[in-house]
Chain A
Amino acid sequence: MIHLSAAHMAAQLSAGETTSVELTQKHLDRIASVDVDVHAFLFVNNEGALAQAAEVDAKRAAGEKLSPLAGVPLALKDVMTQKGVPTTCGSKILEGWRPPYDSTVVTNLKKNGIVILGKTNMDEFAMGSSTENSAYGPTHNPWDLSRIPGGSGGGSAAALAAFEAPLAIGTDTGGSIRQPAAVTGTVGVKPTYGGVSRFGLVAFSSSLDQAGPCARTVLDAALLHEAIAGLDPKDSTSINAPVPQVVAAARSGDVKGMKIGVVKELNGDGYQSGVRTRFEESLELLAAAGAEIVEVSAPNFEYALAAYYLIAPSECSSNLARFDAMRYGLRVGDVDGASAESVMNLTREVGFGREVKRRIILGTYALSSGYYDAYYGSAQKVRTLITQDFNNAFEKCDVMVSPTCPTTAFKIGEKSNDPIAMYLNDIATIPVNMAGIGGMSLPSGLAPEDGLPVGFQIMAPAMKDERMYLVGAALEAALLTKWGAPLLSKIPALAGK
């Protein structure tokens, strides 16, 4: 039962073949069995999830009209607040904090009757590409437990691949939904910036952060997307426009006559051979499905990574100033006569990990007088150029595509002492965040040389999110025909308890 798609589970629920309590319990049992090895979860809300499930079952029994995903369980990235449930952002500075309010994403999930199983592991404050920066230990990739599950949302992606949850919420600032999806053989979508409310999403880089759906199929991602998206008066940057019709697009998958632009600069050198093989094969399948493949160029993408590692740290140095040991979270050194400043200094020393400190210091530098124009100012100009590159390319095509990341999952520990090598993981995902457009990653197969999943990235213009789902659904269907079974049917079985 846990291996079904969320849409299939929802169908069984509405047909009365199972109950949400039964379905939720099966997932909680699975978590209890395999999460000792995977470590996708930081907190499992057994009682809360079962109570929520029982409520949905009661409503169904009473004949109430329910949302399409009502009763289906979900894993929530620990960067989203849920009232009364521990929210750590993978950081010691928030250990034990129980937020007094729900994020809008959680409000929407509850409204739709989606059952929240617990909170998933992540790089501290979403800074990282491997989930190794979590203060609570790394998550392991279910394809190979010695490898990273991507990051920052490695916990959400691993939970899907390990069949601990059929749906998950991620957040994507530079690729934190898409890169974990790619390396775990799952689907992850970063909606258009402003498409999903950021209220209650603990801020890392406010002009880049975007929450979105994670799932095992394109249709499941679409169903979750529609459940969480829409205007929110609590987020002044949420878009006041109808939610794109992503479910209809995912059900259609018709790409006849669509122009698919291959980004010249996001391929070739630096991309693993198996990643390129799977990418070329996906292009052939899309062409066979009736799409026209064209080449597009984005000459300024090569500067995106450098600009990102100025903009994101700058915004984070400002956003993380809120962790000041005064109103919530950790407080260290509060002894008689200690000044507020010394308490802040000591708390932030103990509470933040290495990568978070590195980025706060870098951002503080980039924003300091005398350096502002050279660093932050120049990075903002690069952002303009990248947006122009997208605008020019979208005149020649309907969507743009690339491999999601240059390589398959690397070994835990392999890059943890080389920040630049780690940052290179996000080279193909970052431009999307800089321009605020939508991006999707879906599995395109296994790399022949190491047998690990490879992701295919689809990028669509702002508020044209449905185009990603059209192309994603077409490719998913073509690959399914070719393979005869979903990619995750090839994942090695976890021993479990």
Chain B
Amino acid sequence: MTSLSRDDVANLARLARIEMSDEELVNLSNEFTVILDAVARVQEVAGADVLPTSHPLPLRNVFRPDVVVPSLTPEEALSGAPAQEESRFRVPQILGEEA
């Protein structure tokens, strides 16, 4: 049986960029014991000789003709922005505070 501790879930939540309360972490940790048990069945069946399928269609390198077509205007692209400034997305600070 595989299980995930509260701290394991906290680490995954950090990687997935989701803040979680202690209660949520504990609940998910409990649920995952059951869910991982159920999904681990995939390990029972396929041997090393079976190739993986990532996609139902055998497509490669699909291109459209290299022609300029209309696209969104800056106004349209910014229409859903939570914040904007000078025709750009305004985002919170990404780099550390500069002196």
Contact = CB atoms under 8 A, between A and B. Distances in A.
Contacts of A239: 57
Chain B interface, >50% SS class: loop
* Residue in B39, B55, B64 whose Cβ sees the most chain A Cβ within 10 Å: B39
Interface in B18-37: 18-20, 24, 28, 31-32, 34-35
A385 B49 CA distance: 11
Contact of B93 (A236, A321, A339): A339
Given A99-B80, A317-B16, A306 B31 contact: no
A325 B83 CA distance: 10
A357 B19 CA distance: 10
A344 interface: yes
Given A381-B50, A419-B35, A462-B56, A349 B42 contact: no
A307 B94 CA distance: 37
Contact of A101 (B4, B19, B72): B72
Contacts of A378: 42-43, 46
Contacts of B76: 100-101
A233 to B, nearest CB: 4
Contacts of B83: 331, 334
Contact of B92 (A317, A343, A364, A437): A343
Contacts of B94: 339-340
Interface in A170-212: 193-194, 207
A98 B79 contact: yes
Interface in B62-96: 62, 64, 72, 76-77, 79-83, 89, 91-94
Nearest to A371: B2
A345 B35 contact: no
A136 interface: no
B1 interface: no
B56 to A, nearest CB: 2
Contacts of A327: 80-81, 89
Give the contact-size bracket for chain B: 35 or more
* Residue in A309, A361, A419 whose Cβ sees the most chain B Cβ within 10 Å: A361
Contacts, number: 168
A297 interface: no
A339 B84 CA distance: 17
Give the contact-size bracket for chain A: 35 or more
A470 B62 CA distance: 32
B44 A237 contact: no
Contacts of A437: 56
B92 A328 contact: no
A330 B15 CA distance: 20
A300 B53 CA distance: 14
B99 interface: no
B57 A436 contact: yes
A385 B64 contact: no
A437 B92 CA distance: 44
Contacts of A381: 42, 45-46, 50-53
B72 A100 contact: yes
Interface of A: 97-101, 193-194, 207, 233, 236-237, 239, 300, 303, 305-307, 309-310, 317, 321, 324-331, 334, 337-346, 348-349, 352, 357-358, 360-362, 364-366, 368, 374-375, 377-385, 387, 419-420, 423, 434-437, 462
Given A98-B79, A100-B76, A436-B55, 6 more contacts: A236-B62, A364-B15, A374-B40, A380-B53, A381-B51, A420-B35
Interface of B: 4, 9, 12-13, 15-20, 24, 28, 31-32, 34-35, 38-46, 50-57, 59, 62, 64, 72, 76-77, 79-83, 89, 91-94
